[in-house]
Amino acid sequence: MSFSILACNVKKEEKGELPEVDVDIDTEAGNLPEYEVNWADVDVGTKMKTVEVPKVVIVMEEEEVEVPYIDVDIPDGGEKSERTIMVEAEVTGNEHNLDIKEIWAAKNNLYVIAKLEETEQDIGDKKMRVSDQVSLNAPDLNVKYYIVGERPDRVFNTRYTYLSNMDELKSRLDNPKKIY
């Protein structure tokens, strides 16, 4: 007798027999039926297949626009060089605005403080990068970046320190000077 259960074949190999029971409680060992079970053969791997994959192309064009410019003179600060100070965040859910609000100087450090605010505009299941920048002409200084707002749940956003408010940063610094 043969029958199939789900994805396997079961074949009875030997007939079974129940134990014989005597009234005076003497018993003989019984013999359960034996079965050979052949399971399905499953192979797991990969194969090449042509599928539609969305591609996003971003075209960057150079345009002349007015950007904030900060020129810093520090006594005995050395030679100045121009560079771009930029903050970025990668967001999902709704569009966000990211704006550099202030730059503070304390000792040989610059503290760039930006604010990240969520808008009402839904972006669906997409992700979006927002940024802001200023041009800085100054001697070589350590630049530390802080964003006031909730850190979006993206790996990209681990590059900056996120704060709940600017007072949180002010309490850590020794009388910084606002330069922007």
pLDDT digits (tens, 9 = 90+) for 80-109: 888 889 999 999 999 999 999 999 888 778
Name the domain count of the chain: 2
Q: Are residues 30 and 85 in the same domain?
A: no
Residue 133 is assigned to a structural domain of this protein: yes
> For a pLDDT cut of 90, what percent of the chain falls above it?
27
Residue 97 is assigned to a structural domain of this protein: yes
114 pLDDT more than 80? yes
CA distances for 111 relative to 31, 87, 108, 144, angstroms: 84, 12, 10, 5
Q: What is the pLDDT of residue 8?
A: 63
3 pLDDT more than 60? no
Q: Are residues 33 and 102 in the same domain?
A: no
Buried b (16+ CB within 10 A) or exposed e, 66-91: eeeeeebeeeeeeeeeeeebebbbbb
Residue at 68: amino acid letter: P
Q: Are residues 27 and 95 in the same domain?
A: no
For the segment 142-170, the average pLDDT, to the nearest whole number, is 90
Give the tokens for residue 162. Answer: 């996120």
54 pLDDT more than 90? no
Eight-class DSSP state of 169: H
Residue 166 is assigned to a structural domain of this protein: yes
Q: Can you give the residue range of the structural domain that contains 156?
A: 81-178
Residue 140 is assigned to a structural domain of this protein: yes
Among residues 147, 158, 148, 157, the alpha carbon closest in space to that of 90 is found at 157
Q: Are residues 85 and 23 in the same domain?
A: no
Q: What is the pLDDT of residue 10?
A: 66
Residue 46 is assigned to a structural domain of this protein: no
